[in-house]
Amino acid sequence: MLSMHTSPLEQPGSGDAGGMNVYVAEITKRLARRGAAVDVFTRATSLDQPPTVELAPGVDVHHIPAGPAGELDKNSLTRYLCPFIFGVLRTEAAGQPYDVVHGHYWLSGRAGVTVARRWGVPLVQSMHTLARVKDLARPAAGVSAEPEARLRGEAHLVRSADRIVANTPVEAEQLAQHYGADPSRVTIVPPGADLEVFTPGSRSAALAELGLPTDTLLLLFAGRIQRLKGPEVLIRAAAQLVHRHPELRNRLVVALVGGSSGEPAEPRRLLQLAAELGVRDLVRMDGPTSGTNLATYYRAATATVVPSHAESFGLVAVESQACGTPVLAARVGGLPLAVREGISGVLVDGHDPTDYASELARLVRDQAWWGRLAAGARQHAERLGWSATVDGLLDVYQSTLGTPAQSAPA
Ligand code: UDP
């Protein structure tokens, strides 16, 4: 596994660590339990890091020195691709034991093209997010353009990888539409949630654990606090909700769990906005936390709100549902697959806070509606465990073995 710009050992929820880190950690652990030996290569970010760390039995994470120590903007990492590739190839000294190279995000894929070709093994690539799709969401989200090098790199990778793993049919379609991907080389393998960590539980006990009264109506945003994820929509919607239903004011809490990611001023801007809207006292920002703690937040929440402008899948949506908490999500990217509309949650077209406020009002005031969605939530999530993901990936690996077919020049 190549995961150059971020390591599965990192705490997801801030910086560059998010769903992809969870993905790599979860699939590698499970692949190892099925008998695979897995090595993950990531860029060393500190001089103190040991060269190799065991993530789980059968999974080693190798820190490859490539560029200066410290966190670097991932858009600057292209200039360190060569030393990264060189570091990965040095493992040849111990023989070349790999059957398949799996790249995560386009940067690792660019390294993977060279590494897989040299070793004569297939390159399987997971893009995780696509620059062209992100750029389409840009005007509404107010985020900056993706670098040209990424756009070119992704296009090259789509031509070069033996197989692309797409999270959803929507991503497969985006790969074909925006990158001209050959559909026969794209396989859809949905990600999942850890159904043993994310389990339903007592809402009042979870609220108590968070130090909140048991009649609290908790609206949860979990993930990296960045404009593309639309946390502003939740704050504006919550303000409208208490404006329309002042009787909810004493019970409503909005929790944002996660840290900033590439936009250090964003948390402060959101708190400022909450103050301007008169709901600063309702908003708490709790910083990034572990999956186990996050499960407590999901259990405590009345709804998890995922108002993203772009989302290739949305692990948070599945984790929340696995805890029996309905999701209110934007109808973008993979979210319509992650959330079953009207069964496990609600999907909203666009990002108008008024629409979110209306759906939130129904969720917090209509007990029967909430109860139906909460029951459907766990049922839906049960179909999205990581073991199904690993089944799908093993099929992909098996079917590519011995058929490296990279067609484009490195
Ligand atoms: N996450 C976490 N701690 C936090 C916030 C988020 O462990 O404080 C995890 C969360 O459990 C989820 C991942 O980060 O698995 C976010 O994945 P998602 O697909 O929702 O968003 P992405 O980061 O891929 O954009």
Q: Amino acid letter at 113?
A: V
Tell me the best of 21, 294, 296, 308 to mutate to test the pocket of ligand 1, counting ligand atoms within 8 Å of each CB and taking the most.
Answer: 294
Q: What pLDDT, on a 0 to 100 scale, did the predictor assign at position 407?
A: 47
Distance 315 CA to ligand 1 centre (A): 6
Distance 224 CA to ligand 1 centre (A): 7
Q: Given the CA of residue 257, which atom of ligand 1 is nearest to it? A: 8
Q: Work out the burial of residue 5: count CB atoms within 10 Å of its CB; fewer than 13 is exposed, 13-18 middle, 19 or more buried.
A: buried
Tell me the best of 27, 316, 327 to mutate to test the pocket of ligand 1, counting ligand atoms within 8 Å of each CB and taking the most.
Answer: 316
Find the residues whose C-beta lies inside 6 A of ligand 1: 12-13, 18-20, 22, 222-224, 257-258, 288-289, 291, 294, 313-316, 319
Residue with CA nearest ligand 1 atom 24: 19
Q: What pLDDT, on a 0 to 100 scale, did the predictor assign at position 139?
A: 78
Helix then strand count (H, E) for the chain reads 15, 13
| CA dihedral for 38, 44, 47, 48, sign (positive or negative) | negative
Distance 112 CA to ligand 1 centre (A): 25
Angle ∠(356,362,368) on CA atoms, nearest 5: 145
- 255 contacts 297 by C-beta, under 8 angstroms: yes
Question: Does 54 belong to an annotated binding site?
Answer: no
Residue with CA nearest ligand 1 atom 4: 13
Distance 73 CA to ligand 1 centre (A): 19
The total number of residues written for the chain in this structure: 410
Q: How many CA atoms lie within 13 A of 332 on its CB side?
A: 22
Tell me the best of 27, 315, 325, 332 to mutate to test the pocket of ligand 1, counting ligand atoms within 8 Å of each CB and taking the most.
Answer: 315
Question: Which DSSP state fits 165?
Answer: E
- 158 contacts 175 by C-beta, under 8 angstroms: yes
- Got the DSSP string for 25-59? HHHHHHHHHTT--EEEEEE---TTS-SEEEEETTE
Distance 291 CA to ligand 1 centre (A): 9
- 104 contacts 1 by C-beta, under 8 angstroms: yes
Distance 201 CA to ligand 1 centre (A): 20
- 305 contacts 356 by C-beta, under 8 angstroms: yes
Classified as helix, coil or strand, 284 is strand
ipTM of the complex: 0.99
Task: Show the DSSP H helices in 180-333 as ranges.
Answer: 203-209, 231-244, 266-276, 291-300, 315-322
Question: Locate tokens 């599965």: which residue?
Answer: 8
User: What pLDDT tens digit does each residue of the chain (410 aa) get?
Assistant: 999 999 999 999 878 899 999 999 999 999 999 999 999 999 999 999 999 999 999 999 999 999 999 989 999 999 999 999 999 999 888 887 899 999 999 999 999 999 999 999 999 999 999 999 999 988 788 888 899 999 999 999 999 999 999 999 999 999 999 999 999 999 999 999 999 999 999 999 999 999 999 999 999 999 999 999 999 999 999 999 999 999 999 999 999 999 998 899 999 999 999 999 999 999 999 999 999 999 999 999 999 999 999 999 999 999 999 999 999 999 999 999 999 999 999 999 999 999 999 999 999 999 999 999 999 999 999 999 999 999 999 999 999 997 655 544 44
Q: What are the structural domains, with CATH classification, of the chain?
A: 19-192+387-400 (3.40.50.2000), 203-384 (3.40.50.2000)
